[in-house]
Every structure is written in structure tokens, then in C-alpha cells.
Chains A and B, each alone.
Chain A
């Protein structure tokens, strides 16, 4: 008979529990099984009878085990007592559940433990040092009383906690013990375990822990600190918990992952995971070939799952992720650039920007009555339609969809006061947005157009009003976008430096100096145009100070050609 005894707590899937118990026993490990009182008597009798042919499998006195309550500790106590009494050669007792599965040959565990005869493997940390607790109760687990079951009487549970907090009721620790917590699944030496169970003060401790919340994670974890000569604070059982403190479940498709774990036992296994049970519950001859352990991979998969459930993918709006405003954890999925006034001031701005940065450059995607995707495509990534009616139906979703669908490729688009403004606030709030504005440039197309002046005057007034509102948003304290605003006069004065900055921010594919600038429209007469607007009573102020007669006619024609910069 082996020196490792298994205490097994079971409540469902008895067929699997039977299989696992036999597997332990086949390697000579005595097993004491505790079955929850909730298991119907007939089912239990059948289970017990099925295992009656194995002399080293015994059944202990049954308790009611409700999650988070004392019953689980009581069950562990009586099963452990039985184990120590009935099997005197047992040196280490391993606590396992019916849904635990040994991942490595049992003999390896036996050898491992006999090499460490005085070591107790029990995860045990003080409440101040661990962040695992769920439900906001850590040290209060020990200082409050919990007579109501969390799962069944959540309301009473919460109210009673509140009441105690308000009244300032606190319990005293018996004999000044220091509460420790950790995984429920431990492996203790006979010396430590018997010291805990035979302690003359045990009844005082039991009384105390009876009213502690989730005592199965703290009773042995605390008391073993009193007696153990050598605690190794980790569990030999691989067990991963989700964000609510529920154990993750292993399925057939985790087989390769579990083979690479270096743990001896895993929990919890889905009872119908036939492939896992078949693969791991075999004798040494049929055991799978050992692979290089890589426990980090399991950690990564499960911590990613928790991350996904609690933080999600930034910029994604879908059927099971629809965050409240300001809980988005990223309004959009990637960085993007918005240009206002550039394609008005430069004749070929979009083509130039695409050439010098390699980004995807769209026209005015919020233009009235049409969506100007790059190359005038009727549909783009994600089958996003260029229908203006669909865009205007949910203008915000249009933006978030566009950015989500094209993640991996930087998007740039034009914006302006004649466009649909409903997504403006979203862009201003979005740290992913980089918004560059040449204010007042909307007047250039008016200036170039051949329309009646009264119409132009009315439109100029309207556009100026809209752009002012937009600029107010960009200057508000709630604006999270990176913004750059120039008046048109400033920009025309010295266009190269701002253009260079914009290109640098976009992370141009070749980080060299601009060799080519976009071509500015001919502004001869623009000052007079603005003056005419003023004379009609409409004061355009967003452009900054444009001289009425800027003497543009005096500039030699060569300056008006496309400007090229000479590389140093």
C-alpha cells in the first residue's frame, strides 16, 4: 500500500468519481470518499456497492455541503480522520474532488511526495496580501458572521453583511490566530493534519470557522500555519478561476493543454469529457508520451478569458458587448485621423496624403447625401455600405464600424461643417482620434464657386456657425482627441511645418523629410471675397486675419506652382 491517501469529496457525476477512485486505488493509494447528503440515498447505495470490491476504498460519514458553508470543512474533517485512523501507513493526505483528474501517473506523485516527507503543500496567504477575493469580502470573511447561504439567500446574505458593517460588529479571532486563505485543494502530512484534527482547542476553532464565509478556503489554510514545519504555499492541483471565483472547466479540446501542465491533478473536468478521462486514466503502459511542460500556456488562455469577460475588445460593439457611455474602454478600435479644411485648401490633398503616408485616405465620409470612401467604392471592409441613408440612420455606429473593420490599417478621412455632424462629439471624446482643423477653409469652395452672392452669404453664415460648434467641442475639457487647430491665415502663411508634423504623427512609412507638398489652390482675390462678405453684414472670423489686398497678384508666377522642397 502506498504512503499517499486520497480524500475525495463528491456530489455529482458519481460514475466519473468511481472511475477516478479506482484509478487511485489501482496504484495502491487508499481512498476515503465523502458523498454529499444531497446525493439521493439510492444513488449513493449503488455507488457504494459498485466500489465494494476494492478494500482500500472507504466511505466516511456524510455531511450537507452547501457552497461557501461549513459543511465542506466538516466533510473534509471526518474523511481525513477516517483516513488517518484506517490507513496508518499513509504519510501524505491529498484532498481531491470527484471532478479532479490525475494528469500524471500516480506513481510520480507518490515518488514526489516521498522525496518531500515533511512538506505540506497548501496555498496559504494572509488576506491582506491576495487580490483573489470575489464579492468584496476579504478580511470581513473572518470578522463578520454569515448564517445565510450566499447562493440561496443572496438578499438576506447581503442585508446581514450591511447591518453588521453599520453596527460595527466584529468577531475576535480565537487565540489570536492569523487568518490565511488559499485554494481548497491541499496535500498535508500526517503530522500536520493530525495536529489540526487532534488539537485540544479544536472546538473553539470550529465554532469560529462555522460562521466564517467560505471556510473551506481558510480553515486548513489558517490552522496549518500553527503546526507545519515546512509549508510550500501552492496547490498541487491545477485549478483556474474565472472572474466570479468559479472554477474553469476542462473539456476534450484541452487535452494537449493539460498534457503540458506540470501539475499532478486538474480540476474541474466536465463529466462527459470522454477523451480526457480515457487519455489520463490509464496505466503506465498506455499513458501518453510525456511532453515538455508548458504551464504558462494554460495561464495565458484562462487569464485571457477573464480579460475578455471583464474588459472586452476595445472598439467592438456587438450583441454581447454594448457598453454604457464612458465604459467603452476605447470608443473605437484603432487610431485614425480626421482632416478639416485640408482638401478645401489643397487641390490634391487626399492623393498626396495617401502617397506620403501609405494610409487609407477617404474623402468626406460624412458628406451630405453620399459617403466618399477612398476610390469611390460603394462598399468597403466589413461590407460597410456607402449609403448615406444607412450612415445617417446610426452615424456613431458608422464610425465605430469603419474603424473596427479596418483595424490594422490607419484610416484618414475628411470632415467639414457641411457634413453630418452627429458623430462629431464621439470623435472629440475619442483618444484614438487625431483631428486637424484649418478653420475657415470651408470658405474656399464658396469663393471658387459660381453662385449668387446672397446664397453664398447665407451658406457661409451657416457653415461658420457649425464649425464654431465643432471647435468648441474640440476645445472643451471633455475632449480626449489629439487636436490641432490653425486659422486659415496662419496655415497659408507657413504650411510646410504643420504638414510635416501631421505626416510624422501618422508614422509615415519612410521617416524622411517631405519631398513634395500638396498644391494649394489659387487664393488670389480671396481677401476681397471675405471683405465682400463683411460688406454684406456677415463677418467671417474663423479664417483669421486675411489682408483685403494681400498683393497676391504681385507674387511671381513661379511661387504659385506646385512647391517642391529640396532635400538636404
Chain B
């Protein structure tokens, strides 16, 4: 079980990130450090189970880091179960509180399933997002413990056969007048890698197309998980500002521009109908993820 991750100035998040995934049963971490200047590389190099590659090249030129990750996957991922996540994403799957990730991958193997969906679920705090500072080592879900449960919009992408999902707090708060610009939330982070595979755009879709068939089209539910996305902490404002200056993000960083505008006024994502995170069973009952036929 290998984990692949691109990081830029994520030093403060790393201790908990590593702890979380070690507990799930990840055996080795492969990081691409994109020219951090906060000690990320040195910290990772000290870990017994981390390998670190360094690059000072542009994130955008590398197709938002995917070229680096695809190369590492091809080189080291072949024949392994691989999890590709960002440092602010926490993978949740059915029974993750009682079964290690290997139970899931063994089951996927036995079912001849090669890829596993986990939609991005944006988590946010109640009140201003910069109200409570994040402390190194802390579980970010203690602060960002709220989410939107039922405002996701789905379309099928005919070209790659994947689902294109948008919605959540980012659409609700940042793009209420221009929802088409809201970021994609569909992700397929867990893949039994083969050197013939490649991620096309972030971990949203893969080639060959069959790997994107993570959903059932005949009325049933396939098993799926979620990536709890803890981007919206107090660290976010600074990050958004930095990213806006670097201009290294998707679609001329339109997302970050919208954030920066909004964050200036009243950075609150929480609303009366926000749902407080309890556990995976809650997410499964709400219909955000599914046990499928894993019981």
C-alpha cells in the first residue's frame, strides 16, 4: 500500500497527515516537494517511511503536478495499491473505523475491482474560517468539522466516461452566480496501479477509460468512499494569497480569485443546514458514499 502526494509548504499539516495514513495501514509515502521553503522536505526526509523528490519547476507546467505523480506511479506504483491524495485530504471508506485499508484492497482484489471512487467533501469550521488557528499535529477535522450534505450536481463526461461532480460549499458560497466555474469534486484516488495507467487531470479521471467506471448505471450502488478536504482552515487565507501571486492553478486560478474576493469580507462557509461530521456511517446514510455490497 503506497501513498503518493505533492506538497508545497505543508510542513504544519504533515505530522497529522502521516499519523492518519499510517493508522489506516499505508506502508510507504512517496512525496514530491514542490520547492517548499518551510522545512517540508527536511521533515519528510527524516521519516523512516517517506521518500521525497524535489522540484522547483512550475506546478502548472507539470499539469498541476500530475506529470510528476504519473511518473512516480509508473516507476514505483506498478502492481501495488496506490492512494494519491493531497496533504489536506483524508480518505474515508466504509468500515474505516474497524477495518484497515488492506481489508478494503483485499476485498477489491477479490472482486476484480481496480479503482475506487472517493468524492472530495469540503469540510469547514463554524464561524470565520480563520477564527481557530490550526496547531501542528492536531486533527484538522476538530476545527473543520462541518460539510454540505445534499447539494452535489452530477454529469457524465462522455469523453472519459467518468462522472463530473460539482457542488458543496464552494459552489454555494463562491460561485452562486456562476456555478459552471465551481471546481470538480469527483476523484478516484485508490487504484491498483499498472504502468499502462495514467491520471488525466488531477485524480479526477484516469486512462484507460474503464478505470473511471466507478459508478453503477443500472440502479445499484458500487462501494465508494470520500476524501475529507480540510483546506478551509486559518492557513487558507495566506495560501490563497500566495497561490494567487504564483498563478500556478487551474483555469488562471479563477477559484483562488473568487476565494480571495470573498475572504476579504466575511469568510464563513457555515450555514444553518450544514451537517456536523460524526463518522463514515453518517456519510453513508446521507448518501455521500456507499458500502455497495461490502458488508
List residues of chain A with CB under 8 Å of any chain B CB: 242-244, 246, 248-249, 251-253, 270, 272, 301-302, 304-306, 308-313, 316-324, 327-329, 378-385, 387, 389-390, 393-394, 397, 401, 404-405
Contact = CB atoms under 8 A, between A and B. Distances in A.
B79 interface: no
Interface string B88-129: 000000010011101100110011000001110000000000
B180 interface: yes
Given A308-B292, A324-B217, A327-B218, A383 B271 contact: yes
Interface stretch (B38-46, B57-65, B147-155, B192-200): B147-155
B172 A316 contact: no
Contacts of A306: 293
Interface in B241-295: 271-275, 287-295
A136 to B, nearest CB: 16
Contacts of A312: 216, 219-221
B189 to A, nearest CB: 12
B279 to A, nearest CB: 13
A380 B273 contact: yes
B222 interface: yes
Nearest to A324: B217
Contacts of B271: 378-379, 383
Contacts of B102: 272
A346 to B, nearest CB: 30
25 contacts: A249-B110, A253-B95, A272-B102, A304-B295, A308-B220, A308-B290, A309-B221, A319-B118, A319-B289, A320-B214, A321-B219, A321-B290, A322-B154, A327-B218, A328-B219, A379-B172, A379-B271, A379-B272, A379-B273, A383-B150, A385-B172, A387-B177, A389-B179, A390-B171, A394-B155
A320 B117 contact: yes
A64 to B, nearest CB: 20
B177 A323 contact: no
A323 B295 CA distance: 22
B90 to A, nearest CB: 17
A322 B217 contact: yes
Listed from nearest, the 7 A-B pairs whose CB atoms lie closest are: A382-B150, A309-B293, A320-B224, A305-B295, A383-B148, A405-B150, A253-B98
Contacts of B294: 305
A322 B111 contact: no
B222 A320 contact: yes
B270 to A, nearest CB: 10
A310 B219 contact: yes
Contacts of B119: 318-319
Contacts of B175: 390
Given A252-B98, A321-B216, A390-B172, A243 B103 contact: no
Nearest to A387: B176
Nearest to A381: B273
B156 interface: yes
B230 interface: no
B113 to A, nearest CB: 11
Given A319-B119, A389-B178, 19 more contacts: A242-B293, A251-B99, A272-B102, A301-B295, A304-B295, A305-B294, A308-B291, A309-B216, A312-B216, A320-B215, A320-B223, A321-B215, A321-B219, A323-B216, A324-B218, A382-B273, A383-B172, A387-B176, A405-B150
Nearest to A384: B151
B150 A329 contact: no
Contacts of A309: 216, 220-222, 292-293
B163 interface: yes
Given A319-B117, A382-B151, A382-B273, A311 B219 contact: yes
Nearest to B102: A272
Most chain A CB within 10 A, of B119, B150, B214, B215, is at B150
B165 interface: yes
Contacts of A390: 151, 153, 171-172, 175-176, 179
A517 B171 CA distance: 41
Most chain B CB within 10 A, of A253, A313, A382, is at A382
Contacts of B292: 305, 308-309, 320
A253 to B, nearest CB: 4
B150 A381 contact: yes
A322 B163 contact: yes
Nearest to A406: B150
A310 B95 contact: no
Interface string B145-187: 0001111111110000001010001011001111110000010
